[in-house]
Structure 1
Amino acid sequence: MAKVLLAGESWISTTTEYKGYDSFTSTKLEIGCEALLKALRSRGHDVTHLRAHDVPEQFPWTIEALDQYDVIILSDIGLNSFTLSNGVFAGGNPAVNRLALLKDWVLNGGALMMAGGYLSFGGFEGKAHYHGSPIEAVLPVTVLPYDDRIEAPQGVQPVETTPNVITRDLGEFPVILGYQEITPKPESSVLMTADDAPLLVTQKIGKGRTLAYGTDIAPHWASQAFMAWENYGEFFSRCLNWLAGELD
């Protein structure tokens, strides 16, 4: 099973409640990937979750640190979190471009997955901002330079388009409630679509492998039916096994 670093999929929310004349504010940390972490760990994967607010300082700074993992997952975490560390943004000092580092790691045998969300690919108002980045160079898809979300409140069903080892025999996928508009590169393989739009795209590049999953691993785009699906964990486990070279 794979050793995995999942970066992102958390957020800090501040709520102000007004009760007549008075009000008070509360702040809490929320984790969006708890179900995924549980599902992957139950299948033997060794998963480390790096919360979004820790990414600027704690995401690996060297190839050697990246080499501790078989697979890196970026989920709902934008480009700025990797490029604007405290030393750069507050201190005005040069630092390693960790997205360029990640690109080199993939080309030399690493494995990268990007999952969809409001801060993935192009993202909400284009704020994820991966268009033109070193990451785009190794992803199996090109990224739009603007808001790339397709909201589908009516629900759309993921459909297998090419027989493959990831989706084989998993049955009918539950509906999703949105996805990202991504364009497969010529050398990639489109394994699934939603409304005829690419959804699951893979590629072998250099000595490594990359996978783009154009929708979320958790609500809201992952519907409650999707989260409760009996093959939820198996599907993502197979994604990791393919990336790690354990499934072909």
Structure 2
Amino acid sequence: MAKVLLAGESWISSTTEFKGYDSFTSTKLEIGCEVLLRELRNAGHEITHLLAHDVPEHFPWTREELDQYDVVILSDIGSNSLTLSNGVFALGRPSSNRMMLLRDWVEDGGSLMMAGGYLSFAGFEGKAHYHGTPVEEALPVEILPYDDRVEAPQGINPKEVGPNAICDGLGEFPRILGYQKVTPKSGSRVLMTVDDNPLLITGTYGEGRSLAYTTDIAPHWASEEFMNWSGYGPFFSRCIDWLAGSL
């Protein structure tokens, strides 16, 4: 089984409550990938979750740190978190470009997955900003330079494109509530589509493998129906298995 680093998929919320004349503010940490972490661990994978607010300082800085993992997943974490550490942003000190480090790691045999969300691919108002970056080079898709979201509150069902080892035997894929538009690169393989747009795309970069899954692993685009689907854990476990070369 694979050793996986999942970066992102958490957020800190601040709420102000007004009660007549008085008000108070509270904050809380929310984690969107708890179901995914549980399912992947139950499947035997070893998962390290790096919370989104820890990514700027604690995402691997060196090749040796990346080499501890078989697969890296970026989920709902924008490119700024990989480039604007405190040393760079606050102190003006040069540092390692971790998007270049990640690209070179994949080229030499590592494996990278990006899952969709408001801070994935191009993202909400283009704020994820992976277009034209080294991370885009390693992925099997071209990313738009502007907001790439397609909201589908009515629910839409993805479809498998021919037989493949990741999707076969899982049955009908439940509805999702949105996704992101991307363009598959030459040589990549589209395994699933939604509204005739690519949803699950695999490819290679140098000696490594990469996978783009252009919708969410958790709400809101991952519907309640999807989160309760018996195929949820097996689907993502197979994605990891394919990336790690065991499928």
Task: Please report the TM-score for the alignment, with normalisation by the length of structure 2.
Answer: 0.99
- Note the C-alpha offset of 1:195: 0.8
2:68 corresponds to = 68
Separation (CA, whole Å) in 1 of partners of 2:233 and 2:19? 42
1:172 corresponds to = 172
2:192 corresponds to = 192
Separation (CA, whole Å) in 2 of partners of 1:227 and 1:23? 36
Report Cα offsets for 1:182-203 as digits up to 9, x if no partner: 1100110000001111000000
Separation (CA, whole Å) in 2 of partners of 1:116 and 1:162? 22
- Note the C-alpha offset of 1:205: 1.9
- Note the C-alpha offset of 1:95: 0.3
Q: Point out the more displaced range, 114-123 or 17-26.
A: 17-26
- The residue type paired with residue 78 of structure 2 is G
Kept in 2, the 8 Å contact 1:176–1:222? The answer is yes
Separation (CA, whole Å) in 2 of partners of 1:159 and 1:39? 23
2:163 corresponds to = 163
Structure 1 gaps, min length 5? none
- The residue type paired with residue 240 of structure 1 is I
1:58 corresponds to = 58
- Note the C-alpha offset of 1:21: 1.3
CA RMSD of aligned residues (A): 0.5
Separation (CA, whole Å) in 1 of partners of 2:21 and 2:80? 39
Whether 1:78 and 2:64 are equivalent positions in the alignment is no
- The residue type paired with residue 88 of structure 1 is V
- Note the C-alpha offset of 1:162: 2.5
2:216 corresponds to = 216
Separation (CA, whole Å) in 2 of partners of 1:15 and 1:245? 44
2:43 corresponds to = 43
Separation (CA, whole Å) in 1 of partners of 2:186 and 2:103? 19
Task: Report the number of matched residues.
Answer: 247
Kept in 2, the 8 Å contact 1:162–1:190? The answer is no
Separation (CA, whole Å) in 1 of partners of 2:162 and 2:87? 46
Q: Secondary structure at the match of 1:53?
A: helix
- The residue type paired with residue 202 of structure 1 is T
2:33 corresponds to = 33
Q: Secondary structure at the match of 1:65?
A: helix
Report Cα offsets for 1:143-167 as digits up to 9, x if no partner: 0000000000010101001310000
Separation (CA, whole Å) in 2 of partners of 1:232 and 1:88? 39
Structure 2 gaps, min length 5? none
Whether 1:7 and 2:7 are equivalent positions in the alignment is yes
- Note the C-alpha offset of 1:45: 0.4
- Note the C-alpha offset of 1:169: 0.5
1:148 corresponds to = 148
Q: Secondary structure at the match of 1:169?
A: coil
Separation (CA, whole Å) in 2 of partners of 1:204 and 1:140? 7
Report Cα offsets for 1:3-36 as digits up to 9, x if no partner: 0000000000000011111111100000000000
- Note the C-alpha offset of 1:72: 0.1
Task: Please report the TM-score for the alignment, with normalisation by the length of structure 1.
Answer: 0.99
- The residue type paired with residue 200 of structure 1 is L
